[in-house]
């Protein structure tokens, strides 16, 4: 090697996911790529005078996690406005957090709990009542989105959105009213969730500079969990190119801490062909670089093919004209060599879509074009075989961990055993990758998804799948790293700790391979590196990563600990808050505590001073 590495990590337990070199104790990085992976004594010989050396203290080191289906661009624009209930263990605790945030939030702003949780995670196993929301927030609008099945609005929120006794129900939605004809505050998707997110869209928005700050904080939260790459699946009310300006600006200024491959999601029924035809003239698949690149079309290709994911409702029947509309779009995409993805929950929808794909393939061969279904909870062996023959893939998510009880109630315990049948997919040779579908349908936490893959449990504790349908921890990790590179057309470029690949990794708070199964959900990263640069650090690694400015606005829930709840980290955070000598309204310490402070050395490491706070109590 002509030049010494910029970074070496030693004294680690490295899982490489490289079959030729599965385990190592050290790695070296130059120019953002791995240049050595192996035994410590050999790697250390490469060190030069200016090489940074990190002692991993025998912690487990894994490839950076990759989420193949998440709505990170849309989620980032709003993250600073949202009170997150992800992982919170009781409704009592969730309501305490809500009341605390009400006290901080100025008029006319809202309190928003936007998905990522389910009533089954709470010890009480129920949602709050409207009366409880009104008591907690008599004057502040409160909007709570539960999965994509319902939203709860207090009286102030009903006034803010303007729903009255005269407001009609939209198609596929129900504004529940009382015996007097007045809206109760309950909105139901039956089964179309448009009512839910159109109501949410009526709330105040952040100015663009705040949206930049918000996106940076959401990326840092993903980094905290060990995520280094995502495939963004677009989303409703996410228009291209307007709503991509913030992420484009962050990319241009070198402030992205996640690698993002983005898919374009059509926004208006009957205009899908026009959208994709015009976009094909603006951007090409793969356009961009290793940090930010275009990835093709979907998950919405045509509105008539959307079959939703609300298991409280019967399976929707897709309209008779769906095939013609989908065929027109797929012809545009394949002709322009655009990879594509399609949302499909049910086997019936998948079968009809495959009829279209097979027809188009006869005339315009797919020829290795990467295409795949998202979700596929009830896909059959027959349709898995058809997907394999066309060279397709299936991106699965841990939605069933949040909705399994509803599925069982409707379809029975036997039917839930293969929802989705990911072990069978792998056996049949389909490309299978894992993700979350965050931030609304389920949480963005990858460790809950990895726990679900290897245990088959819901967050409420229901065991859905028999052992024969589960995968081991290494296979699950592969599905969340190496396998997901296929879904962004980056096979061989990332997903492994391997010479020549992008130097992305996470050093874990505990050993993923040896902790008890239910402790998998408590894992976080203590050091996350993207392209050889630390983007998140905690414990003794905190000084290695740059600090973020406090979340904007100063009353943002992010400044007061709104992030995915991890019990051990939450306990340390509470202890740090209790020992803080500064006033309770210190935004700097509120922000720091929200980053899961775990070490009394933070002040010695200059963390408080870097944020501009002069008080300390350690």
* Domains of the chain with bracketed CATH: 7-64+505-544 (2.30.40.10), 220-430 (3.20.20.140), 566-611 (no CATH)
C-alpha to C-alpha distance for 200 and 463, rounded to whole angstroms: 33
For residue 510, what are the contacts with CB-CB under 8 A and spacing of at least 6? Answer: 60, 519, 522, 523
State the burial class of residue 230 (Cβ atoms within 10 Å of its Cβ: 0-12, 13-18, 19+). Answer: buried
C-alpha to C-alpha distance for 454 and 448, rounded to whole angstroms: 10
User: With contact defined as beta carbons under 8 Å apart, do 396 and 432 qualify?
Assistant: yes
C-alpha to C-alpha distance for 308 and 316, rounded to whole angstroms: 8
Q: What is the dihedral of CA 441, 445, 447, 453, to 10 degrees?
A: 10
C-alpha to C-alpha distance for 427 and 405, rounded to whole angstroms: 27
Structure tokens at 483: 């396998």
Q: What is the dihedral of CA 198, 204, 209, 212, to 10 degrees?
A: -40
pLDDT at residue number 237:
84
pLDDT at residue number 609:
31
User: With contact defined as beta carbons under 8 Å apart, do 94 and 561 qualify?
Assistant: no
Element (H, E) at 556: none
Q: Which of 544, 413, 516 is nearest to 466 (CA)?
A: 413
Q: How far is CA 362 from CA 15, 47, 276, 294, 370, in A?
A: 43, 56, 21, 27, 17
For strands 371-375 and 340-344, give the pairing: parallel
HSE-CB at 615 with a 13 A cutoff on CA atoms is: 15
pLDDT at residue number 236:
87
- Low-confidence spans in the chain with pLDDT less than 70: 1-2, 569-618
pLDDT at residue number 186:
98
User: With contact defined as beta carbons under 8 Å apart, do 576 and 97 qualify?
Assistant: no
Give Rg (Cα) of the chain: 24
C-alpha to C-alpha distance for 442 and 148, rounded to whole angstroms: 9
HSE-CB at 503 with a 13 A cutoff on CA atoms is: 24
C-alpha to C-alpha distance for 68 and 83, rounded to whole angstroms: 25
User: With contact defined as beta carbons under 8 Å apart, do 147 and 193 qualify?
Assistant: no
Structure tokens at 56: 């991993």
C-alpha to C-alpha distance for 233 and 68, rounded to whole angstroms: 8
For CA atoms 442, 357, 490, 75, the dihedral sign is negative
User: With contact defined as beta carbons under 8 Å apart, do 536 and 529 qualify?
Assistant: no
C-alpha to C-alpha distance for 195 and 170, rounded to whole angstroms: 7
3-state class (DSSP) for residue 327: helix
| Helix boundaries (H) for 260-374 | 272-282, 322-335, 347-363
Omega into 567 within 30° of 0, i.e. cis? Answer: no
pLDDT at residue number 284:
97
User: With contact defined as beta carbons under 8 Å apart, do 86 and 445 qualify?
Assistant: yes
pLDDT at residue number 567:
87
* Angle ∠(240,276,484) on CA atoms, nearest 5: 75
pLDDT at residue number 2:
64
Element (H, E) at 408: helix 399-411
For strands 23-24 and 33-38, give the pairing: unpaired
Q: How far is CA 49 from CA 5, 33, 169, 175, 580, in A?
A: 10, 19, 69, 67, 40
């Amino acid at each position: 090697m002509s030049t010494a590495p910029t970074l070496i990590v030693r004294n680690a337990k490295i899982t490489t996911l490289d079959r030729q070199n599965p385990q190592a104790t050290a790695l070296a990085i130059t120019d953002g790529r791995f240049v050595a992976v192996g035994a410590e004594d050999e790697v250390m010989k490469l060190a030069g005078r200016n090489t940074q050396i990190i002692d991993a203290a025998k912690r487990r080191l894994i490839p950076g996690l990759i989420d193949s289906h998440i709505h990170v661009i849309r989620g980032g624009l709003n993250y600073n406005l949202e009170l997150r209930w992800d992982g919170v263990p009781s409704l009592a605790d969730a309501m305490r957090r809500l009341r605390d945030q009400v006290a901080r939030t100025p008029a006319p702003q809202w309190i928003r709990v936007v998905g990522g949780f389910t009533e089954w995670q709470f010890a009480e196993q129920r949602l709050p009542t409207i009366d409880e929301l009104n008591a907690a927030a008599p004057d502040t609008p409160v909007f709570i989105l539960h999965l994509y099945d319902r939203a709860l609005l207090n009286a102030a929120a009903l006034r803010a959105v303007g729903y009255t006794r005269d407001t009609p129900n939209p198609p596929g939605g129900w504004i529940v009213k009382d015996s007097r004809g007045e809206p109760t505050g309950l909105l139901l998707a039956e089964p179309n969730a448009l009512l839910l997110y159109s109501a949410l869209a009526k709330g105040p928005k952040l100015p663009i500079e705040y949206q930049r700050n918000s996106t940076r904080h959401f990326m840092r939260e993903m980094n905290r969990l060990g995520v280094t790459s995502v495939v963004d699946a677009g989303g409703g009310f996410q228009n291209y190119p307007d709503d991509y300006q913030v992420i484009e600006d962050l990319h241009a200024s070198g402030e992205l801490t996640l690698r993002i491959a983005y898919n374009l999601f059509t926004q208006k029924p009957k205009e899908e062909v026009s959208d994709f035809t015009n976009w094909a003239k603006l951007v090409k698949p793969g356009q961009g670089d290793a940090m930010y690149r275009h990835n093709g079309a979907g998950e919405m290709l045509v509105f008539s093919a959307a079959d939703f994911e609300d298991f409280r409702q019967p399976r929707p029947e897709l309209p008779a004209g769906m095939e013609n509309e989908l065929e027109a779009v797929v012809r545009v995409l394949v002709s322009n060599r655009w990879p594509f993805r399609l949302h499909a929950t049910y086997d019936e929808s998948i079968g009809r879509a495959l009829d279209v794909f097979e027809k188009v393939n006869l005339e315009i061969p797919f020829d290795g074009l990467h295409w795949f279904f998202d979700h596929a909870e009830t896909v059959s062996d027959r349709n898995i075989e058809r997907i394999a023959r066309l060279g397709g893939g299936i991106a699965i998510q841990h939605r069933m961990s949040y909705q399994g009880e509803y599925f069982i109630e409707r379809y029975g315990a036997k039917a839930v055993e293969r929802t989705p049948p990911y072990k069978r997919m792998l056996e049949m040779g389909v490309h299978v990758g894992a993700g979350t579908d965050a931030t609304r349908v389920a949480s963005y936490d990858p460790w809950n998804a990895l726990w679900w893959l290897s245990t088959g449990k819901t967050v409420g504790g229901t065991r859905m799948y028999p052992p024969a349908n589960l995968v081991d921890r290494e296979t699950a990790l592969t599905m969340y790293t190496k396998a997901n590179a296929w879904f962004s057309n980056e096979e061989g470029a990332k997903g492994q700790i391997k010479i020549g690949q992008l130097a992305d990794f996470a050093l874990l708070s505990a050993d993923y391979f040896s902790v008890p199964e239910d402790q998998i959900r408590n894992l976080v990263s203590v050091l996350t590196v993207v392209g050889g640069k630390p983007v998140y650090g905690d414990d003794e690694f905190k000084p290695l990563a740059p600090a973020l400015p406090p979340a904007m606005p100063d009353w943002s829930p992010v400044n007061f600990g709104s992030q995915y709840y991890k019990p051990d980290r939450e306990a340390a955070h509470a202890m740090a808050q209790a020992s803080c000598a500064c006033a309770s309204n210190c935004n700097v310490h509120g922000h720091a505590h929200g980053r899961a402070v775990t070490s009394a050395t933070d002040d010695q490491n200059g963390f408080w001073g870097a944020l501009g706070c002069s008080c300390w109590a350690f």
